[in-house]
Amino acid sequence: MADHYEVLGVSRDASPDEIKKAYRRLARELHPDVNPGADASERFKLVTHAYDVLSDPQQRQQYDLGGQNQGGFDGANFGGFGDIFETFFGGGQSSRGPRSRRERGQDALLRVEVDLDEIIFGTHREIEVDTAVVCETCGGSCCQPGTSPVTCDICHGTGTIQRAVRSLLGNVMTSNPCGTCRGYGTIIVTPCVTCQGQGRVRARRTVAVDIPAGVDTGLRLQMPGSGEAGPAGGPNGDLYLEIKVRHHDVFSRDGDDLLCTLEVPMTDAILGTTASLAALDGDIDLELKPGTQSAEVLTIKGRGVTKLRGSGRGDLRVGIQVVTPTKLDHKERELIKQFASGRKQPSPSLTHFQQGLFGKLRDRFLG
């Protein structure tokens, strides 16, 4: 890279006022609004960068000392103690080189709602995600197309600045991240205008998701590499999907089993019948034996939820609720009286307290 003093046309012992006057003169001459040529534009960038460095006293001092052996310290002064000083005073960072602009993207968490019938066999979703993606203009390089990062002329690409510090042991070299390039070792002179030099932009993208059968509320699915894109073209983070199963008006879930309640007219419970039950995965013919009682639970094997771990499906358990009519016309009432008079009915009597129907169903459903 060209020498900053030569770019501005000043001597190395130029005063701050001389540096400022030289910059203003060249800036008026090379500014794109005055001189639209490509060569003038590149020179304008070099002049601006040179002024940024030389107008700052600390950066100017670093630039003047850059690459030089400060304080007369070298490995020969202390022999084998050099590694010890580097370990305690940070000099070891220079051996690792500059840090990379590429970093792993952040993980993302997204909540997905599914219906109860979708988790019986699993489902496929196309999910819209607002996230960070690689900038299409620069391809993650952070630079305007046709340009590339330039080596930092303060640290000369090392990403660190070494200084001599006086201590009880004498002069010791310390290493600190370069303030000009922030430890990267390079400077992006012309950042991409689309991503502002980040190498990524916010965008909406579609993620295809296969939700397995048997998932339940609170379960998280991990999709490696589907999270946010990292800075400067770094690898993507992971996407986590947190499942929420929507409430169903008829069916509820107990592990891999499905639960529901079937209301049966009193006459069907007495005489027995075959009922057609609209299950989540198709109709089921359910046989009710004569004398069916409330709170009985009928089990249909293999008609529950597909097991998330293992094979097979749970069961469908149907609780029976016998419905007693509350409004009878005269003819119906007479028929009930004839039925009752033809049977020997026990007299009402006190017995142990029994819980309600739903309590009985709960105990039988849950074992």
Feature table: binding site for Zn(2+): 135, 138, 152, 155, 178, 181, 192, 195
Q: Tokens standing for 189?
A: 């002179």
Which residue is it, tokens 């006459």?
A: 267
Which residue is it, tokens 């129907």?
A: 357
Q: Please list the residues that pair with 241 across neighbouring strands.
A: 110, 221
Q: CA-CA distance, 143 to 133, in Å (whole number)?
A: 16
Q: Tokens standing for 285?
A: 């013919």
How far from 231 is each of 60, 99, 100, 148, CA to CA, in Å?
30, 13, 10, 16
38 burial via Cβ count (<10 Å: 0-12, 13-18, 19+): exposed
Q: CA-CA distance, 311 to 122, in Å (whole number)?
A: 14
Backbone angles phi, psi at 202, to 5 degrees: -80, 135
**What is the end-to-end Cα distance of the chain in Å, rounded?**
80
How far from 351 is each of 3, 31, 243, 278, CA to CA, in Å?
105, 102, 48, 38
How far from 246 is each of 116, 240, 253, CA to CA, in Å?
6, 19, 11
Q: State the binding site.
A: 135, 138, 152, 155, 178, 181, 192, 195
DSSP type of residue 306: B
How far from 23 is each of 12, 36, 40, 104, CA to CA, in Å?
15, 18, 14, 40
